[in-house]
Structure 1
Amino acid sequence: MKKVLSLVMAVALLLGIASQASASGGVNFFNPYPNSTNATVPNYIGFTKAAGTYQYQLFIQETNAGNRTYNSGKLYAPSGGYEIRHTLSSMTKNMLPGGTYLIRAECFNISGTLIGSDSTTVTFL
């Protein structure tokens, strides 16, 4: 009985992980940690890229009584690897402290069609 219960729980966990990854087309943030508060401003925004990604775009929008924004525009994604590390300029890093931001990453295929996205809210120190 214990083995059957363990097997059922393992299958349910795997199905949950698979459905979460497919819900955003395989795009998931890893830096800064999603939905974190009191985070330090990172040197880069990191996220996994969707299979077939040719270009990506990153948006940062302040959500707490401010109007600070950042839009990377469409950029070419690195051809190798499974992740994108979008380096932030010093000007952008200086803009981010002391605010809560919605960060959104979008991935596009070679024809410009959106194939995956993810968003998270982060509060920076």
Structure 2
Amino acid sequence: MNAKPSPQTVRVNAKLRLSYWLMLLSILGGAFLYGPDFGTMPIGQWVASCLVIGFFISLPLLMFILTAHRPTPGGVSWMSFLLLGYLVFGIVLIFSPNGLLAGLLLTGTTLSTFFYAVVWLRPFKKAAKASNKK
């Protein structure tokens, strides 16, 4: 039988899910900040191009929607590896023209998502160490 998850696990799951969605929103919102300059094209075309840029940047992260909602140790581990790439991208954005705010948003949300992924994986790591000692 499946044991009922502890309240602490449920809280970490909710925080991991929330930080995942905030990270996706920061990617899409950031595309409006570092994307094409406003006024260089008609407004409809500008919005569409920023949304397309944001979609293509968030495409690898979209593969982990199920992992964010129903975390598994393997899925969260792979997601954390992917998050390191987004962290590097956020840091590069900080030092690019027109990318300071978008880079700070992406870096902050990536760090929080990575933190909650590590916190979520901690009990599994402790259990694996305990089973290796036996």
TM-score scaled to structure 2, two decimals? Answer: 0.26
Q: Give the helix-richer structure, 1 or 2.
A: 2
Higher Cα Rg: structure 1 or 2? Answer: 2
TM-score normalised over the length of structure 1 = 0.27
Greater strand share, structure number? 1
